[in-house]
Chain A
Amino acid sequence: MAEKRTTTPSAHRDNAREDALADAVGEQRAKHDVTTPALGVVGMLRWAWTQLTSMRTALMLLLLLAVAAVPGSIWPQRVQDSFAVQTWIEENPTVGPILDFFQMFDVYSSVWFSAIYLLLFISLIGCIIPRARKHYQQMTSPPPRTPRRLERLPEYGALELADDGPSLDQALDDAAAVLKKRRYRVEKRETSVGAEKGYLKEVGNILFHVSLVGVLIFIAFGSMFSYRGQKVLMEDEGFVNALVAYDNFYPGTWFSEDQLEPFSIRLNEFERVFDRQVDENFEPLDGFGQPLEFTAHVTVQDGHDAEPEDTTLRVNHPLTLGGAQLYLVGNGYAPVVTVRDGEGEVAFSGPVVTRPDDPVYTSMMVIKVPDAQPEQLGFVGLFLPTAYDDGTGMAISTDPDLHEPELHLNSYYGDLGLDDGVPQNVYVLDTDNLEVLNSRESDEGGIVLAPGETHELPDGLGTLEFEEINDYIAIDIHYNPGEAGVLVFALLASAGLIATLFLRRRRAWVTVEQTPAGRTLVRYGLLSRGEDFSLRDETIALRTQLEKIWPVRPPEETEPSGVVSGEGPNTTRGI
């Protein structure tokens, strides 16, 4: 098999096929050696350009792109979770800064990653423009000239017509008609017909690559003018789309504040549905207690003048307001507490956002009361929707629904560090500089509260009242004007990809000549550009059609030497 490759052009490869064509036409094969670059700036630039736009370079850049994308999955990325990056660097003080220097935490906006894909796209454009120009020429010019030796083509055959068969010219006309019917573009020549079809294959190829450029442009456009932000919304609380109202806000490079459309949203009620299925013995099934549906009942107003409208916001069902999308990305319980300080004044009152940590909504809770007198107060602990003490004295939550809600808190007093203006994470209480009031370890014990109960802090420093439980939702607000463009070009790219991978570009030639016996001898040859595994089927179909319209002499009389012993008449070679 191996020697076959060297002796005959393997019929399946683009380059090899071009070589076969050059062979058949009698042209010199193009030289593919890299010539030494001529000196001089222009020469060097031209050489560099040729190298960059070569297929080999494109392949290398593609491989490099795949490798360069991998670190982003190994280390946390700022684009994903900047908090995780910060933690990682703190935990790895030696390696962290080095990796950060090499932009390993910003892989997809890093210099090196950008360099690779920009070079790749330049290479792509440099490759696709000449190809498009060449293809346009081919589409608008007649099929390529007839090779001198058809028998060198990957598919070749001959038919000797009977004595009463058509004349040479008539045979050419017939062949042209058959090829046309097979949707070839046909040109009739003196003693031959040239035909080609499947131009859409290359069109698809160009469309695919151009669409990739389109995708990239719209990604860039989108990231410039986009914005995204997050907001935690309590029950009965509203949000108006303005910069100050966001908890977090990430603008695009060219974002301006007047892009914010003044829509508003208000959370009326939040509903959770958990799996409650039990079997015949009322034993819970697997999956008991897992969330099934989250529904936020909201009132929205799309601009100042619009009518308020009641609707729902659900997972997978975003709302569109003022061109931006609103997503339900999180939810939790917000216990309503009131803290009275040592002087009996209300120092804090309202719902506190807790952060669910597991499927049964074991939620982290932090209350900071800087206004308390005489000492500032801090509370940290858990909110448990269904508290259950398994006897160890350590309560856990056993269900995400509110069956036995309890607060389990430690309390502290001292300077919370909020007065010197350094921004703090509201969900973390730094207890290093605080004195313990209540704790499981202390004599006073921890605070355990059910709704409606009040806990008195030691030393007369105040009281904590657990009133009721509200719900809250976390919404993400996204505005990206580039999305539609990205989608359109992605779909165009797919269409181009399908066309270029599954259409076949084929050339066919038919020649006629007079045999010494005065009969008409028709020869035909087919050649494919690019991958083609069914050229043989095409040949057989073409031959069948030709045999139908002409009286063909039986094959063994056509070429007596043709019947080779040992060789089956239909030996298939390659594919």
Chain B
Amino acid sequence: MILAIDGTELQPINVELAEYSELFMLISAFIYTLAFILFTVDTARSSATIRRVEAELAQEQEAERIAVTAGAAEATASAQADGAAKTAQASTAETSQPDTSTAETSSDGAGPGEAEVNAELVDDDMAYARPKRPLANVAVAITAVAAAAHIFAVVARGLAAGRWPLGNMFEFLTAAALVVTVVYLLALIRRDLRFLGVFVLGLVVTMMVAATIGFPTPVGHVQPALQSPWIVIHVSLAVLAMALFTLTFAMNILQLVQSRRERQVTSGAEGALARSSFMRLVPSALSLENWSYRINAVGFVFWTVGPMITGAIWARESWGRYWGWDPKEIWTFVIWVVYACYLHARATRGWTGNRAAWLSIIGFICIIINYAVVNVFFPGLHSYAGLPE
């Protein structure tokens, strides 16, 4: 017995579906936590993984030496097959074979000793390389299950309320967590980003917990100011951008640690980092920097079109001016400028590497401020967060 709402085109809330949505949101949070634990265990066991791979490598080298004595031609073939398997992601099957001349120019690759082992452990293109990590694989599979439950929860919420499910802080944060997961899973299809798992899942679990504890909001309609088609594009792009910036934040943190470790290894210092097994499974700082740059570039475009431009268009439709220096608008602008700095820094001598990484991290901190602090503490036009009075 649900009473219809008189005098409006809004459909009534589907209470049953809303309950299912909330249940699945909770279930997905639990599964994420499980995946996070598995990723953590995998990370903790990375030294065992490396030992296993090193043993395998040694065995293979032994086999190769035998093969060399048996016949040089065969050895070449095996080496080629090996190489082809390794870069199967990057090049197509028919091109990888006769590529000897390219190899000549690229011979600046791995040096002797540990660097060589590292090259076998990780691939700077983040293609799937040697180490078999069954725990991490299980964690990825579980993450996918959690994401499925999460997708159902978000869609059911939207259907139950009969609107785009991005109307308050709770919905924003859970949707952002979902996008982070989905982007991560999609990237995993092509690239070996398992080293990021513990960070990504850690952030996702944090977001889910923060949403549930900090901003619990029952399924409901939104106030008239939010009933606009612009919510679909404006908030969705903001969520997408935020998800991408979350991923690069994790990568930039790793980049800073990795570059520190690289310095230690190069200078021969025996720091704790230089011996860290986990960091040996992480790609080089340069590679992390490049990948986070590519993701940040996409995120910046989303941020420009989403929060900035469509935000201005909607503000003009709703409040009468396209830009009014409301606290939310201020921080959106600050974030845009910080990431613009980041993009410029990459083209400026002396600002690449760690400095650029710091800019990206500052940008993410601004995003946290924009999301959490501005909505909660600064009075402004964006203060319809569904927060308890």
Contacts and interface: CB of A to CB of B under 8 A. Distances in A.
Given A80-B324, A286-B220, A501-B297, A277 B100 contact: no
Nearest to B7: A273
B275 to A, nearest CB: 17
Nearest to B125: A572
Contact of B305 (A3, A494, A563): A494
Contacts of B84: 570
Contact of A273 (B5, B98, B111): B5
Given A77-B325, A291-B223, A568-B82, A575 B102 contact: no
A523 to B, nearest CB: 9
Contact of B322 (A5, A327, A486, A563): A486
A570 B286 contact: no
A129 interface: no
Interface in A317-340: 317-318, 325, 327, 329
A478 B319 CA distance: 10
Interface string B268-304: 0000000000000000111100110110010011001
Interface in B220-242: 220-221, 223-225, 227-228
A570 B101 contact: no
A228 B316 CA distance: 13
Contacts of A159: 101
B221 A564 contact: no
Nearest to A62: B341
A277 B319 contact: no
A497 B304 CA distance: 9
B180 interface: no
Nearest to B289: A12
A569 B352 contact: no
Nearest to B83: A568
Given A63-B341, A569-B103, A285 B15 contact: yes
Interface residues on B, range: 35 or more
Nearest to B102: A157
B74 interface: no
A491 B309 contact: yes
Contacts of A414: none
B103 A483 contact: no
Interface stretch (B137-145, B150-158, B203-211, B329-337): B329-337
Interface in A474-531: 476, 478, 480, 483, 486-487, 490-491, 493-494, 497-498, 501-502, 530-531
Interface string A534-555: 0011011001100100001011
A563 B125 contact: no
A89 interface: no
A385 B340 CA distance: 51
A279 interface: yes
A127 to B, nearest CB: 11
B8 A293 contact: yes
Contacts of B312: 486-487, 490
A494 B111 contact: no
Given A66-B338, A483-B316, A292 B109 contact: no
Given A15-B349, A564-B107, A574 B286 contact: yes
B98 A554 contact: yes
- 5 nearest A-B pairs in the assembled complex, by CB-CB distance: A568-B83, A287-B220, A286-B218, A555-B100, A315-B224
Interface of B: 1-3, 5-8, 10, 12-13, 15, 75-76, 79-80, 82-84, 86-87, 90-92, 94-96, 98-111, 115, 123-125, 218-221, 223-225, 227-228, 262-263, 265-266, 284-287, 290-291, 293-294, 297, 300-301, 304-305, 308-309, 312-313, 316-327, 330-331, 333-334, 337-338, 340-341, 343-352, 366, 374, 378, 380
Given A478-B320, A544-B95, 7 more contacts: A2-B262, A73-B378, A277-B3, A502-B297, A562-B103, A564-B107, A574-B124
5 contacts: A72-B327, A287-B221, A478-B320, A544-B94, A568-B79
Interface of A: 1-5, 7-8, 10, 12-15, 32, 55-56, 58-59, 62-63, 65-66, 69-70, 72-73, 77, 79-80, 107-108, 151, 155-159, 219, 228, 271, 273, 275-280, 285-287, 290-294, 314-318, 325, 327, 329, 476, 478, 480, 483, 486-487, 490-491, 493-494, 497-498, 501-502, 530-531, 533, 536-537, 539-540, 543-544, 547, 552, 554-556, 558-559, 562-565, 567-575
